[in-house]
Amino acid sequence: TPSPIIAPSILAADFARLADAVHAIEGAADWVHVDVMDNHFVPNLTIGLPVVQSLRKATSIPFDVHLMITDPERWAPGYAEAGAHNVTFHAEATDDPVALAKTLRAAGAKAGLAIDRDTAVEPYLDLLPHVDTLLIMTIKAGFGGQKFLPEMLDKVREVRRRIDADSLEVRLEVDGGIAADTIERAAEAGADAFVAGTAVYGAHDPAEAIGKLRALVEG
């Protein structure tokens, strides 16, 4: 099994100092998680393509872009072209996830499919060979700082079973309420990529907070 990925979410950082926020976790984090929200797919509004393009020039850490937007066909390729390592769009926002994943891969990015709180994962299991990342929300998408929903781990177990049974190379990512008191349960359920906003940027020393999370999942 591949070693765990820790991806701090800059949603919990100071938006006036995003480059500093990324520099603070370089060397400690594997990816930086960028939450794009459009005030339509979710009620919240965050950052978009121009900010990602500018931030891309400030660091070489891989970007894990999480698109919580409607019409991902229109916008997702731009993030791949901007140099995102992984571009994840929501299952609830598209009728043809396989086609969009193909487009993203052709544009040079890994393709991720996200499953929100109220969506069952079973209908998407057959699509796993077409994506690089499957993101299970462990909250309802839209805001940082929410409480982890342990019942979402049934979905994580379901996806892990299929990944292992078919020997697929798919990252199984969890997002929402991941912290020192929840990350082990997510890992035991089969997750191998962990997004953490508040637990990293709410800490006095973000790099140290990442080290503590990593120690909990690396054993």
Residues at the contact surface with ligand DX5, assessed by CB under 6 A = 9, 11-12, 33, 35, 66, 68, 139, 141-146, 175-178, 195-199
* Residue 119 near residue 142, CB atoms below 8 Å: no
Cβ proximity to ligand DX5, 43 vs 129, nearer residue: 43
Shortest distance, position 197 Cβ to ligand DX5, whole Å:
3
19-58 binders of Zn ion (CB under 5 A): 35
Q: Which does 75 bind (CB under 5 to 8 A by kind): ligand DX5, Zn ion, none?
A: none
Token pair belonging to 60: 């070489």
Shortest distance, position 165 Cβ to ligand DX5, whole Å:
28
Cβ proximity to ligand DX5, 105 vs 117, nearer residue: 117
Q: Is 202 annotated as a binding residue?
A: no
Q: What is the largest CA-CA distance in the chain?
A: 45
* Active-site residue, selected from the candidate residues 30, 35, 64, 192: 35
Q: Does 155 bind Zn ion (CB under 5 A)?
A: no
* Active-site residue, selected from the candidate residues 116, 132, 175, 192: 175
Q: Which does 177 bind (CB under 5 to 8 A by kind): Zn ion, ligand DX5, none?
A: ligand DX5
Identify whether 64 is a catalytic site residue: no
* List 30, 64, 175, 192, residue binding Zn ion (CB under 5 A): 175
Q: Which does 206 bind (CB under 5 to 8 A by kind): ligand DX5, Zn ion, none?
A: none
DSSP the chain: -PPPEEEEBGGGS-GGGHHHHHHTTTTT-S-EEEEEEBSSSSS-B---HHHHHHHHTT--SPEEEEEE-S-HHHHHHHHHHTT-SEEEEEGGG-S-HHHHHHHHHHTT-EEEEEE-TTS-SGGGGGGGGG-SEEEEESS-TT-SSPPP-GGGHHHHHHHHHHHHHTT---EEEEESS-STTTHHHHHHHT--EEEESHHHHTSSSHHHHHHHHHHHHH-
Shortest distance, position 166 Cβ to ligand DX5, whole Å:
27
- Among 64-72, 91-99, 121-129, 145-153, the segment contacting Zn ion (CB under 5 A): 64-72
Identify whether 175 is a catalytic site residue: yes
- Strand arrangement of the beta sheet that strand 32-37 belongs to: 5-8, 193-196, 171-175, 133-137, 110-115, 86-90, 63-68, 32-37
Residues near Zn ion, by CB under 5 A: 35, 66, 175
User: What residues are labeled active site?
Assistant: 35, 175
* Residues making up the binding site: 9, 33, 35, 66, 142-145, 175-177
